[in-house]
Amino acid sequence: MSETGWVRDQYQYSWLQRLGINVLKVGSIPRHVAVIMDGNRRFAKQSGVATIEGHSKGFDKLAETLQWCRELGVKEVTVYAFSIENFKRGEKEVEALLNLAKEKFKVLISEEEKLKKNGVRVKIIGNISYLPEDMQDIVKKAEKITENNSEATLNVAFSYTSREEITHAVIESCKMVEQGDIKPNEIDQDLLESLMYTNHSSNPDLLIRTSGETRLSDFLLWQASSSITYFTPVLWPEFSIWHLLAGVFFYQRHQHSLDKLRKAGSQGGGGKGCQLDQLEQDTTVASLLGNWWSGGIKTE
């Protein structure tokens, strides 16, 4: 099997990694995990390699992480691959990023049978009209060949920002009013959600951001409003299975509190939303898990 592919079945887990996975699977596993894959450029700079090499290493880490998620039983993964804001970077870097993405999507298309075997559906979320036409054709084909797969979903946020997504939904709802399809007072939360790029998707249970930044950077602002958010200082290309397990452990610690808030919200419990601030980010044990891979215990 090629090491450049999206579907990797040959990862060899150490006994300690296998133990960690099995222990966490006793508890609740998030159905949907979203990831802000941050730190590729800093990794390249620290490693003394070209920026695009950092992004390439980031893709390799994505492929590994998807396998770990599948092993844990995560059914849906959403990754922030390319922001609309990235178009503001230098011309050479943008061109290199788009060429890398084109190459990787072509690899994905070539793995149609593997994706079918594993039941993975691929969805591109974002405004692809900003992309070159040949790139648009490639991402549409990636969606088309996997549309009937139903075991797991990979959402790739490409040419995406949350503000643009919300604006798009509002504009579409206004068009529906102008066309006489709905009345103005029929515009509500459910309608807007149905017009978003993620209308096929559940809201993320767990959102992970790497690189030490503690912001969402215009990613799933609507959908992640009540997600449990886990920030880790590791740069994305250095993300390990232990960092993922630490994030899942953090989710399990706070899931009960979040479930109570969601239930209160669904019952119209006004004011309960402010209690989200009380989900204290006590990550002592989670940080320990995340550091095992580089500490005294060798896992790989």
**Cα 61 to the center of its chain, rounded Å:** 13
Distance CA 295, CA 274 (A): 38
Burial tier of 226 (Cβ tally within 10 Å: 0-12, 13-18, 19+): middle
Angstrom distance (rounded) from CA 58 to CA 80: 12
**CA 212 to each of CA 36, 38, 177, 221, 292: distance values in angstroms, whole numbers, following the listed order:** 11, 9, 44, 19, 18
State residue 11's pLDDT score: 77
- The two tokens of residue 286 are 């989670």
Task: Give bridge partners of residue 155 from the DSSP assignment.
Answer: 78, 123
Rg (CA), the chain: 20
Residue-level length of the chain: 300
Q: What is the pLDDT of residue 176?
A: 97
| pLDDT averaged per 10 residues in sequence order, the chain, 300 residues | 64 92 96 97 95 93 94 97 94 93 94 93 97 96 96 97 98 96 95 97 97 96 95 97 97 83 63 45 49 45
In this prediction, residue 62 carries a pLDDT of 94
Predicted local distance difference test score (pLDDT) of residue 205:
96
Q: Are 293 and 241 in contact (CB under 8 A)?
A: yes
pLDDT at position 293: 46
**Sign of the dihedral defined by the CA atoms of residues 28, 30, 36, 39, in that order:** positive
Across the strands, what pairs with 209?
A: 36, 231
